[in-house]
Amino acid sequence: MKLPLILNGEQKILEVDPAEKLLTVLRREKLFSAKSGCEKGICGACTVLLDDRPVPSCIIPAAAARDSVIETLEHFSQSDAYADIIGGFSKAGVRLCGYCNAGKIFVAYDLIRTGTRPSRGRIYEAVRHFNCPCTETDTLVQGILFAASVQQEHGRRKSDGKN
């Protein structure tokens, strides 16, 4: 089937099997920031933004992405929002291994994109399923709180169009 979508800012029409997973399609497009992990949508390694919300691409059927906007870490890493998140992570001492980056960065983005500082409890709930040992949960939570502060200092939030 033909799958029209916007992928990393570019309008595309891809030929896909409607039952194949979005992760498979992205890898065929030579986008490798989303990794294959648990294949159950839990670990976060395969996370992408689908219409500006983080989703596990390993369980999303390609057909579900029809007429959607998909953003992978390759593209997102060029944004101000990414710079804010990485700045907060760095301040907290978060060291990402490369495998889990997409999940942790996109969850952080989702928590802070409105410009409202999330509570520790809300952050813990959002990151509790990450099982990658590269970053302790408390350090990641602190990194997200710092990222929210950096974002507020810069006066950026998604609704301003300053991503």
> Residue 18: what pLDDT?
83
DSSP assignment string, 123-150: HHHHHTT---TTS-HHHHHHHHHHHHHH
Are residues 62 and 21 part of one domain?
Answer: yes
> Residue 159: what pLDDT?
42
Are residues 136 and 71 part of one domain?
Answer: no
> Residue 22: what pLDDT?
98
Classify the C-alpha dihedral 73-26-51-68 as positive or negative.
positive
> Residue 160: what pLDDT?
45
Q: Are residues 2 and 10 in contact, defined by beta-carbon separation less than 8 angstroms?
A: no
Flag whether 162 is in a domain: no
What is the number of domains present in the chain?
A: 2
Q: What is the pTM of this model?
A: 0.91
Answer with the one of 75, 110, 131 that is the final residue of a domain: 75
> Residue 155: what pLDDT?
75
DSSP assignment string, 44-95: STTEEEETTEEEETTTSBGGGGTT-EEE-HHHHTTSHHHHHHHHHHHHHT--
> Residue 38: what pLDDT?
84
Task: State the CATH number of the domain containing residue 61.
Answer: 3.10.20.30
Full domain range(s) for residue 53: 2-75
> Residue 156: what pLDDT?
62
- Which residue positions in the chain have pLDDT lower than 70? 156-163
Flag whether 163 is in a domain: no
